[in-house]
Amino acid sequence: MSARRLLQIVLLVQACAALAIGLAGWYWLDLQPLAAVALGLGSVALVRLAINMNNFLLAAFFASPTPPEFALGPRQRLRLLAEEFGASMAATSWAMPRACEGMRVLDGGAGVPVLLVHGYGCNSGYWAHLARRLERARISHATVDLVPVAGDIEHYTAQVERAIETLRARTGAAKVAIVAHSMGGLVARAWMRRYEEQGEGRVLRVITLGTPHFGTGLANFGLGVNAAQMRRRGGQPCAWLRDLAASESPRRRALFTSIYSHHDNIISPQTASQLPGARNRAFGGIGHVALGSNPRILDAVMLELAALKTGDPLRA
């Protein structure tokens, strides 16, 4: 099953729940119609908020120490929760249930073409905000919808290979860049391992956002083969992640930029996103889903892509 279809089913279930609660409030509590609608929708939103808050609580259990310069006060923590909740609601209730993978080739486009690779349980709709930035910058780009939702990460590499070859053929570019969120970063690394000879010659940069390069404790609660491949137990990444790391040369690692947040509510410990040999960029006060829409993160991604066009070196 695709993430799009799964999210559509989830939305339908939520709509039915909201309707049932609203009707109950109207029938048994004698609420006015608008109040009954507010009760139904508000109840569903509160459940979604509780799930979001629970992710932060679980992440705190596995969390790495937060550096002092990234410490948050009460108001900043509320802003963190509000942004993450808003980003999650917008992505899962609007962008992703409507999205299909696609390609945008811009005539006279600037810069290196970009392939966008989403994370666990998501699809190409996750990239709605970054796609608009790429459009404004006249950068050709493509998205890929990884299926099935709970599949093997190794299986996804063939889909990435097809997407890269199509993007290169359509744009006439010899090389592309990859921007990947969460599990998508592991998919990109697995793709480079499987297509090693071609991979290092066809990609200029891989930019990962909140990728569990060395696993996450929350994957222990996830379903599917891909969740098992992201697990971390006893402070150590799973065997699949260890094998992936052992296959990579310093030259390949140097192609990566890992952008992550010290307050990620899904990747925990948060420092598991640090990739030795890569350019690592740490941020604070940003949740996992919000990495795809936060202006600071989008600015950082666009700066990385602009450097590929100009050839200017970037420094941490």
Q: How far apart are CA 94 and CA 119, in angstroms?
A: 17
Most confident by average pLDDT, 22-26, 121-125, 201-205:
121-125
Q: Is pLDDT of 316 > 70?
A: no
Q: What gap in Å lies between CA 233 and CA 250, rounded to an integer?
A: 26
Cβ(243)–Cβ(189) under 8 Å?
no
Per-residue burial over 104-142, b = 16 or more CB atoms within 10 Å of its CB, e = otherwise: bebeebebbbbbbbbbbbbbbbbbbbbbebbeebebbbb
Residues 43-53, mean pLDDT to the nearest whole number: 93
Q: How many domains does the chain have?
A: 1
pLDDT tens-digit map of 278-295: 999 999 999 999 999 999
**CA 292 to CA 306: how far, in whole Å?**
18
Instruction: Answer whether 241's CB lies under 8 Å from 166's CB.
Output: no
Whether 21 and 110 have beta carbons less than 8 Å apart is answered as no
What value does the mean pLDDT of the chain take? 92
Give just the sign of the alpha carbon dihedral 314, 76, 272, 69. positive
For residue 247, the enclosing domain spans 1-316
Q: How many other C-beta atoms are found inside a 10 Å radius of the C-beta of residue 167?
A: 21
| pLDDT (average), residues 243-272 | 96
Q: Which pLDDT does position 81 carry in this prediction? A: 97
Q: Encode pLDDT of 119-143 as tens digits.
A: 999 999 999 999 999 999 999 999 9
287-310 burial string, b = 16+ CB within 10 Å, else e? Answer: bbbbbbbbeebbebbbebbbbbee
- Which CATH number covers residue 157? 3.40.50.1820
What is the rounded CA–CA span in Å between residue 67 and residue 274? 14
Residue 178 CB: number of other CB atoms within 10 A?
26
